[in-house]
Structure 1
Amino acid sequence: MSASDFILGGVAAMGATVFTNPLDVIKTRIQLQGELARRGTYVEPYKGVAQAFYTVVKNDGLLALQQGLVPSLCFRFVINSIRLGVYSIAMDNHWMHTKDGDVSYGLGLFWGALGGVTGSFVGNPFFLIKTQLQSQTVDKIAVGRHRHSHSSMVDAIRTIFHKNGFFGLWRGSMASMYRATVASSVQIATFGKMKSLLHDNEWITRPTSISFCSSLFAGTFLAVASTPLDVIATRLFNQAVDSKGRGLSYSGALDCCLKILKSEGIYGLYKGFWANYMRVAPHTTLTLVFFDELVHLKNLFML
């Protein structure tokens, strides 16, 4: 295991992000739709994933599907280079294995969570800006209780820094870390366990096929576990703040969760589920497959 594997993990995630960012835009818009309003009492410009794609392209243009791509690429590079690097170190040193040599699901959860929470904290400014850029649209299909007006990632950094200082870029970091802890632990542990199961039982023999099936399986579990936390993070990142950086709609993750449940019900915590599932499943698959292939190519060139 070398430092280059950390970089390869980040590059693999960036490659996957180029393909899945449009779904991330759709997910963000749907999650902000009808914010703190009872179901059936608000206009829904986004009525489903397919219709949302049409609506965005019709009103904002085709390029709008890649809004927030630059900060999204930066965030994915940071979090995945860290968590996949940690995953590889733990796997190579058998820190995820039991005394019998089997991959432990519990240890996989621990190492996945550790890598995810660290990467999420470091990359929080990029996730914050990505969310705010993706929610920007014309008045006709605008959603959420607040809209930002950044012209680019650099402009967003400058605006946030000027208004709320350096630590303003880490607003909502706790919610992001909760999300990353659950998402990464479920993704990494499920991927490692399924990969080991398929390999040990020789159900699938080709390495690429094993990675594909394992990561697709992990992506399914990830969507179910992460969507509520993803909704909360999106709401916290997009809300307006005062001069001291305090949220005007939510004081924190717990307050956000309770307000969503009170006004929108459990349905509110699963807004954008299908867009999230359609994003995380292929993103997980592409990231982990790309990562395995990049590591394989690196090893070939080193021979």
Structure 2
Amino acid sequence: MDFLMSGLAACGACLFTNPLEVVKTRMQLQGELQSPGTYQRHYRNVFHAFITIAKVDGLAALQKGLAPALLYQFLMNGIRLGTYGLAEAGGYLNTAEGTLSLSRSAAAGALAGVMGAYLGSPIYMVKTHLQAQAASEIAVGHQYKHRGMFQALTEIGQKHGLVGLWRGAMGGLPRVVIGSSTQLCTFSSTKDLLTQWEIFPPQSWKGALTAAMVSGIVVVLAMTPFDVVSTRLYNQPTDVQGKGLMYRGILDALLQTARTEGIFGMYKGIGASYFRLGPHTILSLFFWDQLRILYYTYSKR
């Protein structure tokens, strides 16, 4: 039940934040491996990107990749939050004195995130391809010509086999390890502090919301550079063997991006990342926490 509640909570958040994911993906691909000032900026900021995409590609384009995004969130966060929730409910994250252990919380969050992200990697890759697809006048990054999620998965599988479906998976793991451990550790520790300080009543939704807001800020700052290179690894063109033509791996992607685009290149799309990851973190953790409270409250009756 923990896995189902976790997946549903993440899907609920994804419905609202997927347009921001589309904007984030395109801003991260804009000016890929080009020096600042040498390329045309189709998307100047988050708000300009929204307007540009809606005007050129149509309003529906703001929900591109929604199907794989929902499926990925259900798989990834169902496993991630569900596993973490079981560890938390079982008391494995607490010290002998009964207080929350930050090291155990971070380790559990990272391990749970790796499991979910690796299994959902093919879905995330297709999501990235679909969200990057745009009209030629505002296109950024490599343009795949997928017609939908199932067609894309079938085509990639037929051309490159299982290895091709999991291309970029290892490059995406650091993003999830850092993001998941930071998110869940910050959320749990903040909520624990709020409870100890008795700022809100026990099991109050206000405590969960406050903890989720704090967690969202920390996650964006820690994860954005790895999110940028993860998007590029998934979206890069490949040769006939399915090998990436631009990057050899995450370290190569980090070095090339930093060398050609500078430190600000590592934080491309951070505004979109904040507006997307912030609300997504807040909504998913809040929904997850409240669903668990409801379930465990009524299951004891």
Assess same fold via TM > 0.5.
Answer: yes
- Whether 1:61 and 2:58 are equivalent positions in the alignment is yes
Cα distance in structure 1, aligned partners of 2:289 and 2:185: 16
- Whether 1:225 and 2:219 are equivalent positions in the alignment is no
User: Gapped runs of 5+ residues in structure 1?
Assistant: none
Cα-Cα RMSD: 1.0
Cα distance in structure 2, aligned partners of 1:290 and 1:31: 28
SS of residue paired to 2:154 = helix
Distance 1:173 1:153, change over 3 A: same
SS of residue paired to 1:198 = helix
- Whether 1:41 and 2:42 are equivalent positions in the alignment is no
Residue equivalent to 1:204: 200
- Whether 1:177 and 2:173 are equivalent positions in the alignment is yes
Map residues 11-22 of structure 1 onto 2, 5 A cutoff.
Answer: 11-22=8-19
- Whether 1:273 and 2:266 are equivalent positions in the alignment is no
Map residues 107-256 of structure 1 onto 2, 5 A cutoff.
Answer: 107-144=104-141, 146-205=142-201, 207-256=204-253
Moved more, 229-238 or 88-97: 88-97
* CA displacement at 1:300 relative to structure 2: 4.7
* CA displacement at 1:266 relative to structure 2: 1.1
- Whether 1:95 and 2:92 are equivalent positions in the alignment is yes
- Whether 1:79 and 2:76 are equivalent positions in the alignment is yes
Q: Deviations over 1:105-164 (max 9, x none)?
A: 1111100000000100000011100000000000010011x1101010011111111221
* CA displacement at 1:301 relative to structure 2: 4.3
Report the AA paired with residue 190 of structure 1: T
Q: Deviations over 1:251-291 (max 9, x none)?
A: 11111111101111111110000100111111111101111
Cα distance in structure 1, aligned partners of 2:285 and 2:257: 33
Cα distance in structure 2, aligned partners of 1:230 and 1:279: 12
Taking only the aligned residue pairs, the percentage that are identical comes to 44
* CA displacement at 1:293 relative to structure 2: 2.0
Report the AA paired with residue 74 of structure 1: L
* CA displacement at 1:297 relative to structure 2: 3.0
Report the AA paired with residue 165 of structure 1: G
Moved more, 201-210 or 252-261: 201-210
